[in-house]
């Protein structure tokens, strides 16, 4: 029978693990340096597909100081929790979903219909980790569709302990005059409307002690010139987190954001040309490399768990050392 590690290896295209000191498992990291990442683009597609990437992002292996990987170690921090992750089919969403399952949670994934292949792989990893998994191919721009997802999860599981608003779209456009109204509309409606629709529908079903987590971004603070519309939406999400935290704390619901820096996910190939990808790879985080989704996942576990019981309204920056205000 496949172990979680063996399935993770298959999902990432990684090599088989070797024994490490202390009983850990580790394999030489493929992604330690900017030059180790492939220059590939899926910009001609509507969405990025992780299963079609040459080197697939790692969902549950963590980078060590010597550029080796070690398997994420779960401690049943989310035992019995019922969770939803939008955009959980790939990238950071997949990492959070898989780690939630490793921690004892059941996970419902919300994703675009064209991402079904990625969603099936995420479900495989979640089930192998011991969690139940529900799949919902649903565009979160659809208000009624979001409500149907929430109603279906509540019907199946009775409650929603954790909602992760992770799904986003991003386009790298260097000149504002080249941002089409169609693109602007899709970015705003996916990243802001979708987050709002899912949250509004879920809140009545989140019990005291529950958690809402939003994937914002470092760009809300950094102001990258090529990501005007995307950065606008991420700033709005940070504001939403602060306001909603003040509103929901009386109900015992915590609301926080995770703000990633440069991370290897399908979002980048889908947004950038090959020339833009090359420039992105050659401008890594201060730590000297691009991050892996698996290095973001523990932040979601932390914020979802009672370890973060005194944290709300905050933005956790997981960005490889970039210093940002806020």
Q: Which of 111, 171, 221, 230 is catalytic?
A: 230
Spacing of C-alpha 291 from chain mean position: 12
pLDDT reported for residue 259: 97
Q: Regarding beta strands 68-71 and 82-86, do their DSSP bridges make them parallel or antiparallel, or are they unpaired?
A: unpaired
Q: Is residue 83 part of a domain?
A: yes
Report the pLDDT value the prediction gives residue 26, as an integer from 0 to 100.
37
Pair of tokens at residue 17 = 């693990």
Give me the DSSP letters along 137-183: E--TT-HHHHHHHHHHHHHHHS--SEEEE--------S-GGG--HHH
pTM of the model: 0.84
Q: Residue 172's domain spans which residues? A: 4-318
Cα angle for residues 306, 291, 258 (degrees, 5° grid):
35
- What are the angstrom distances between the C-alpha of 24 and each of 12, 68, 77, 189, 253? 19, 11, 20, 44, 36
Query: What was the pLDDT predicted at 289?
Result: 81
Q: What is the dihedral of CA 127, 130, 136, 137, to 10 degrees?
A: -30
> Cα(26)–Cα(281) distance, rounded to whole angstroms?
24
Could you tell me which of 267, 316, 315 has the C-alpha nearest to residue 91?
Answer: 267
Residue whose C-alpha is closest to residue 221's, from 190, 260, 182: 260
pLDDT at position 284 is 76
From 97, 257, 272, select the one nearest 169 (Cα to Cα).
272
Count of the separate structural domains present in the chain:
1
- What residues form DSSP beta bridges with 107? 83, 133
Question: Going edge to edge, which strands form the sheet with 133-137?
Answer: 133-137, 106-111, 82-86, 162-165, 211-215, 254-260, 315-318
**Separation of alpha carbons 190 and 89, rounded Å:** 16
95, 296 in Cβ contact below 8 A? yes
| DSSP notation for 225-291 | TT-HHHHHHHHHHHHHHHHHHHHHGGGT-EEEEEEE-SB-STHHHHH--HHHHHHHHTS--TTSS-B
DSSP 54: S
**Cα–Cα dist 171/30, whole Å:** 27
Per-residue pLDDT of the chain (326 residues; tens, 9 = 90+): 333 344 344 444 443 333 332 333 334 444 444 456 665 555 555 566 666 666 666 676 676 655 567 889 999 999 999 999 999 999 999 999 999 999 999 999 999 999 999 999 999 999 999 999 999 999 999 999 999 999 999 999 999 999 999 999 988 899 999 999 999 999 999 999 999 999 999 999 999 999 999 999 999 999 989 999 999 999 999 999 999 999 999 999 999 999 999 888 776 666 566 666 666 566 778 888 888 899 999 999 999 999 999 999 999 999 999 877 76
All residues at 6 or more sequence positions from 115 whose CB lies less than 8 Å from its CB, including other chains: 47, 49, 89, 90, 137
For residues 11 and 23, the answer to whether their CB atoms sit within 8 Å is no
Q: Is residue 326 part of a domain?
A: no
pLDDT of residue 151: 99
pLDDT of residue 132: 98
Residue 237 lies in a domain: yes
Q: What CATH number does residue 282 fall under?
A: 3.40.50.720
Instruction: Specify if 277 maps to a domain.
Output: yes
| CA 46 to centroid of chain Cα atoms | 18
Is residue 233 in a domain? yes
Length of the chain: 326
What local confidence, expressed as pLDDT, does residue 78 receive? 99
Q: How far is CA 45 from the centre of its chain?
A: 20
Catalytic residue status for 300: no
Is 323 among the domain residues? no
């Amino acid at each position: 029978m496949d172990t979680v590690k063996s399935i993770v290896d298959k999902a990432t295209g990684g090599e088989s693990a070797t024994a490490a000191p202390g009983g850990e498992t580790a394999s030489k990291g493929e992604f330690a340096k900017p030059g180790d990442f492939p220059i590939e683009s899926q910009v001609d597609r509507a969405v990025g597909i992780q299963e079609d990437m040459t080197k697939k992002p790692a969902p549950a292996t963590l980078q060590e100081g010597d550029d080796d990987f070690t398997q994420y170690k779960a401690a049943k921090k989310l035992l019995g929790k019922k969770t939803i992750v939008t955009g959980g089919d790939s990238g950071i969403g997949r990492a959070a979903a898989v780690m939630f399952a490793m921690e004892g949670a059941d996970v419902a994934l919300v994703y675009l219909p064209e991402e079904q292949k990625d969603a099936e792989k995420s479900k495989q990893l979640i089930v192998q980790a011991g969690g139940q998994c529900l799949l919902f191919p649903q565009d979160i721009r659809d208000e009624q569709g979001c409500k149907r997802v929430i109603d279906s999860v509540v019907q199946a599981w009775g409650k929603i302990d954790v909602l992760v608003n992770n799904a986003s779209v991003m386009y790298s456009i260097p000149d504002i005059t080249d941002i089409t109204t169609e693109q602007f509309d899709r970015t705003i409606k996916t990243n802001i409307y979708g987050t709002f629709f899912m949250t509004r529908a879920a809140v009545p079903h989140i019990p005291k002690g529950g958690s809402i987590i939003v994937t914002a971004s470092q760009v809300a603070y950094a102001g990258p010139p090529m990501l005007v519309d995307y950065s606008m939406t991420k700033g709005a999400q940070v504001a939403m987190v602060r306001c909603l935290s003040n509103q929901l704390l009386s109900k015992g619901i915590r609301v926080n954001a995770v703000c990633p820096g440069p991370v290897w996910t399908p979002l980048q190939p889908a947004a950038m040309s090959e020339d833009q990808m090359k420039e992105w790879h050659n401008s890594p985080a201060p730590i000297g490399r691009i991050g892996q989704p698996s290095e973001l996942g523990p932040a979601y576990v932390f914020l979802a768990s009672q370890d973060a019981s005194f944290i709300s309204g905050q933005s956790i920056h997981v960005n490889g050392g970039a210093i940002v205000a806020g």
